[in-house]
Structure 1
Amino acid sequence: MVAIYTLNISDLNLDQSFSAIIHPSRLETASRFKFAGDKARCIGAGILLSIAVYESALKISLPPEEGQLPHGKPYLLEAPGFHYNISHSRDWVVCAVSDKPVGIDIEHSDRDAGLVAGRYFSHEENEYIASLPSSEHYGAIMELWVLRESYLKATGQGLAFSLKDIAVRFDPGPYIVQCGKKTDYSMALCRMPDERYKLGLAVCKGPEPLTYVFRQVCGRTLMVLRDS
């Protein structure tokens, strides 16, 4: 079971102190952003991570401190085996937590995705898009985009290979191939409460089918974390 924590940053008051629940290194990063929205998304990511760690009962200090693997994938310095991934777009920040390597990607539906398919998608993905009615092209591009991104983030490979070497297929649900071979990752398109967003999820396969649950964070959750 993958837990997907969600937070709408419009609920955040940036004038309040977050030092009790967000590591100083992330707060320092947030302070360098020029725009309030970027700062809020950085802080929101830290909030979700702290809540996920708190609910996991990991025996580490809060707030958690992060490091980065060679291609940029974050991990917890005190618990490298804790599998999580964070994404954000516009008003929403999401954090996926699993007992296996996991990746998540969220995108707002008004992203300019027109050039993405031709530049980054595989030949077979572009053929799949072309086979659909024109009214469905944009939605298909967005779905392929978030699924591809979630896989790249789950593996931590970054841009270590050509993006056209991977392809999402449907049979009937989504799965991904890399260099023509089926990968060991399960995938899902997750329906956000806010339907303007697309959300892709990828997790290393286990013996059970991929399942997930949403956990929306609100002010009451933050109060519990602060008081712990």
Structure 2
Amino acid sequence: MLQIHAIKVPFHIADLDYKKLVSFISSDKREKLSRFYYKRDTYRSLLGDILVRLFLWEHFLIPNNQIKYSFNQFGKPQLKLPFPFSFNISHSEDWVICVFDHKNVGIDIEKINNVNLQIAKRYFSQIEYEDLISLNEPMRTKYFFDLWTLKESFLKCIGTGLYRPLNSFTIRINKSTISCTEDSHVLSSDLSFQLYNFDCHYSLAACAYSKLPDKIKMIHFDELMSRMRSFTF
């Protein structure tokens, strides 16, 4: 079942479309959206929620009023469903990404910008930092963001988020092989990692206990609105 869906955030959402989408989300979520200063932040948060609801409807016929969120001890959102289901959302600038599976999953996307090596020195393990500074630009910039998204996806997959320090484990990227260790010991042989090159201006990584797909399902905003017409409360 493991799938990854992506939607490009529109520069502007028409008022009628926005009101339609907002009508599907919880009152708590609506209140949260009202606190965003920038409209694009509102769009990103809203579209992430909608992608989850649409997936549950189209794959499991779960009505909207039966979609209830809860949170683990680290604040990771989860759903109260009568079957195993895991999801994770990430967004950055133009993109919202969601991953779905029956086992724990994590995903992270970051816009590629300039690299601050002091951030790498503070938050990466010593091995990761040494791997990074051994590279020349522009390889160093891409490697930094690939490493960052891999580490974030791992923490989101195991459910701790940044409650577990980023430098408490080491990820190494060797061509098509990605390893994750702690004190030189593999953290879990069941975990799989993957980097996706779907937009040259972003790094996108996923972590899962199932085999990750090779491709991401792209959803256009107009397609999303069309598919939402069949969604029931």
Q: TM-score, normalised by structure 1?
A: 0.88
Tell me the residue number matched to 1:211.
Answer: 213
Tell me the residue number matched to 2:163.
Answer: 160
- Measure the CA separation in 1 of the matches of 2:40 and 2:9: 8
Trace 1:23-62 onto structure 2 (pairs within 5 A): 23-57=26-60, 59=62, 61-62=64-65
Q: Shift of residue 58 of structure 1?
A: 5.0
- Measure the CA separation in 2 of the matches of 1:67 and 1:113: 36
Q: Shift of residue 106 of structure 1?
A: 0.3
- Measure the CA separation in 2 of the matches of 1:199 and 1:147: 8
Q: Percent of aligned pairs with the same residue?
A: 28
Are 1:176 and 2:174 an aligned pair?
no
Cα–Cα, structure 1 residues 98 and 158, in superposed 2: closer, same or farther, change >3 Å?
Answer: same
Question: Residue 120 of structure 1: which of 119, 123, 144 is its match?
Answer: 123
Cα–Cα, structure 1 residues 138 and 63, in superposed 2: closer, same or farther, change >3 Å?
Answer: farther
- Measure the CA separation in 2 of the matches of 1:50 and 1:81: 16
Trace 1:79-98 onto structure 2 (pairs within 5 A): 81-98=84-101
- Measure the CA separation in 2 of the matches of 1:163 and 1:189: 18
- Measure the CA separation in 2 of the matches of 1:11 and 1:47: 17
Cα–Cα, structure 1 residues 177 and 98, in superposed 2: closer, same or farther, change >3 Å?
Answer: same
What are structure 1's unaligned runs of at least 5 residues? none
- Measure the CA separation in 1 of the matches of 2:170 and 2:179: 8
After superposition, the CA RMSD in angstroms is 2.2
Cα–Cα, structure 1 residues 23 and 111, in superposed 2: closer, same or farther, change >3 Å?
Answer: farther
Q: Shift of residue 62 of structure 1?
A: 4.7
Contact 2:152 2:161 survives alignment (8 Å): no
Amino acid at match of 1:210: L
The superposition leaves residues 17-75 of structure 1 with CA deviations (integer Å, 9 ceiling, x where unpaired) of 11443333222211221111111111111121112212321545457332211101110
Cα–Cα, structure 1 residues 142 and 23, in superposed 2: closer, same or farther, change >3 Å?
Answer: same
Contact 2:11 2:40 survives alignment (8 Å): no
Tell me the residue number matched to 2:193.
Answer: 187
